[in-house]
Amino acid sequence: MKILKICVGTCCHLLGSYELVDKLNEMDAQRLYDVKIELTTCINSCQSKSAQPPYAEFNGKIIENANIDKILNCITAT
Amino acid sequence: MFYLTEITIIKRKVLTLLCEALLNNEYQKIREIPNIISPDKSKSYSCCIHHDRAITRDRIKHLLGLNLNEFSNKSWNTCIDTALNTSANVEFLSVMQNSCHQCPQKRYYITEACQHCIAHPCKLNCPKQAITIQAQRAMINEELCVECSMCAKVCLYNAIIEVRRPCENACPVNAIKTNEDNIAEIDLDKCILCGRCLLSCPFGAIVEISDVKDLLVALKNKVEIDVMLAPAVVGQFSPKASLQQIAAGLKLLGFRNIYEVAEGADIVAELETQELIEKVLKTKKLKFLTTSCCPSFVYCIKKHFSNIKENISHTPSPMIQLAQMLKNKQINSSSKKIVFIGPCLSKKKEAKDSGGLVDFVLTFEELGCLFAAKKIDVASLTPAELANSATAKGRMFAIANGVTTAISNTIKQNTDLNFSAKLIDGINKENLKILKAANFGKYDFDFIEGMCCEGGCIAGPGVIAKPSISKKLLDELLK
C-alpha cells in the first residue's frame, strides 16, 4: 500500500487542498487501488518564499501546486 | 452550491500577500503583488498580463479601502501611500468597473444544436414573430423578442438557451442593474448583502469591504483586541484543527481573549423563546415572529416585505448580545476593541450599525489569509483556552434549523406550549413566495427561522471549508 499525503494545513486548505481529497475519493478506484489517501497537517513545504501550495506527498516525493493531474501523473510514474 | 474557482484562489493569494506585506511593514512589497500574481505571459488569465495586473491593482486598492472611482487615474504609488494613511471609503459590496466583463444581458440564443427542422415550432409559437429561418438556422430578431422563453420551451432539440448575467441570475432580490456602459451596478436600496453576486461573478469583478488593513494597524499599535468567533468556525482552517487550536492561532496573531459567539446564541435562544411566548403564543399580539440572527434575512424583510417588519424579533443577534455582555461586564472597556470573525458579509454592516459595539469584522476567508501570511498552521498548534464556553444550543445556530431546534427545546423544558415553525433555508424563489404571502397576511405558522444562505451560516459567502465537512465536524461537537 502506497501512501498519498494531502496537506490540509491552513495554507494549503485555504487554496483548496480539501477539494483534491474530495475529488480523489470520488474517482475510479482502479487508478488508486493500492493508494491510501491520508490527510496531514503542514508538511513545512510552504515555509519558503517561493512556495507553491497546495502540497501533496506521494512515496516521499513532494508535489507542489498540487492538482488532480499532477497527483495522478506522479502515481502513474511510480 | 459550494465549489472552488480560479477567482477564489487568486483573491486569496492576493489577500495573503497583502497581509504579509502589512504584517512585516514591508509596504514596498505591496507594489510588487500584481507582478507576483501575474509573473509572465504564460500565466495570463485574461487578455494579457497588463490587464491582469491592472485588475490585481484595483483589487488591492479596494482591499485597502480606496474608492476605485476616485483613484482610477492616480499612480500606483500614490494609491498605496494614500491608502495606508486614510480610513476606508468603499461600499460593503461594489463592482470593479474595469473587471466587469459586460456580459450579455438576459436573452435567448439559438445554438448550433438547431437542426433546421421542418416543424419550426420556435417560429410558429413565437408570439412576436421574432424568429426567422435563415441559412440553415433559426434566428432571433433581438428588437422584436420579448424574452418570453416560448421558443426555448418548444424546441425539440433544446437548441435554444437562455443566457443571463451570472450576477443578475444569482441575486435573489433583483438588486443588479446595468449602467449606460453595460457594466453591472448594485442597487444598494435593494441589496441584502447575501454575497451571491460576489461568489458567482466569473471575472471576480464584485468585491467586498475589508477591515484587514485597519485591524492590522490596530494590532501593530498594541490595541487590545478581543475576538468573537461565530459558531460556524469549526473546521474552517483545516479539518484537523480544533476550536482550541484556532484560539491558539489567534493568540499568536496578537489577539487577547477568544470568545465563542455561541454563548451569545445560548442567551438569544432563551430571550427569543420568551418573546415568542409573550408576543405570539400567549397574547396573539403578533401573528408570528421571525428570527433576527441573520442580518441578510432581516434586511430582506425590511427592504422587500415591509408589512411584516414588526414581526422581526427584537432580541439582538448573538453577535450583538455577546458584545453587549462583554461591554457591560467591563471585560471590554472603551480602550479595548472587539473583532467578530464569521462566515458573513452582512455582519460587516450589522457591526457598523451597532454603534461601536463591534469594531471590526473579518470573514473566515480573511482570517485564513492572515494565518497563511504569518505561516501559522492552526492544526499543528498546542490548544489554548477560550475565555468563555457555550452549549450545543448556541452552537447549533450555525446550521439551518438550529435556531428552531434550540427554541423548541427551551419551550419544551419550561412549558407545555406547542408552536409551528417555518424554516426559510436560503433566500430563493420558493422561499420568497412564502415571505410574499406572509407580507399579504397569508401564513400558517407561529415562527419563521430565516437563514439567507441555504444550509445556514456554514454555507456563508466567507467560508473556506466545504459546508458538508463543517456540518460533520459541528455535529461531532454537538454530541
Q: What is the pLDDT of residue B4?
A: 84
Measured between CB atoms, which of B12, B239, B372 is closest to A18? B239
Q: Does B287 touch chain A (CB under 8 A)?
A: no
How far apart (Å, rounded) are the C-alpha atoms in residues B30 and B14? 10
- Give contacts of B466 with chain A, Cβ < 8 Å: 18-19, 22
Q: Does A8 touch chain B (CB under 8 A)?
A: yes
Q: What is the pLDDT of residue B312?
A: 97
What 3-state DSSP class applies to B126? coil
| Residue with cell string 492616480 | B74
Q: Which fold has domain A2-77?
A: Glutaredoxin (3.40.30)
| Residue with cell string 425539440 | B156
Residue B456, amino acid = G
Radius of gyration over alpha carbons of chain A, in Å? 12
Q: What is the pLDDT of residue B331?
A: 61
- Give contacts of A46 with chain B, Cβ < 8 Å: 375
| Residue with cell string 448556541 | B394
- What cell does B456 get? 445556514
**Euclidean distance between the first and final Cα of chain B, in Å?**
27
Q: Does A42 touch chain B (CB under 8 A)?
A: yes
**Closest listed residue to residue B464, CA positions, set A13, A24, A39, A12:** A13
* pTM, to two decimals: 0.94
Q: Do residue B238 and residue A15 have CB atoms under 8 angstroms apart? A: no
Q: What is the pLDDT of residue B333?
A: 65
Dihedrals phi, psi of B132, to nearest 5 degrees: -120, 160
Q: How would you write the pLDDT of chain B (479 residues) with one tens digit per residue?
A: 677 899 999 999 999 999 999 999 998 899 999 999 998 888 787 888 999 999 999 999 999 999 998 898 889 999 999 998 888 889 999 999 999 999 987 789 899 999 989 999 999 999 999 999 887 788 999 899 998 999 999 999 999 999 889 999 999 999 999 999 999 999 999 999 999 999 999 999 999 999 999 999 999 999 999 999 999 999 999 999 999 999 999 999 999 999 999 999 999 999 999 999 999 999 989 999 999 999 999 999 999 999 999 999 999 999 999 999 998 876 656 678 999 999 999 999 999 999 989 999 999 999 999 999 999 999 999 999 999 999 999 999 999 999 999 999 999 998 889 999 999 999 999 999 999 999 999 999 999 999 999 999 999 999 999 999 999 999 998 88
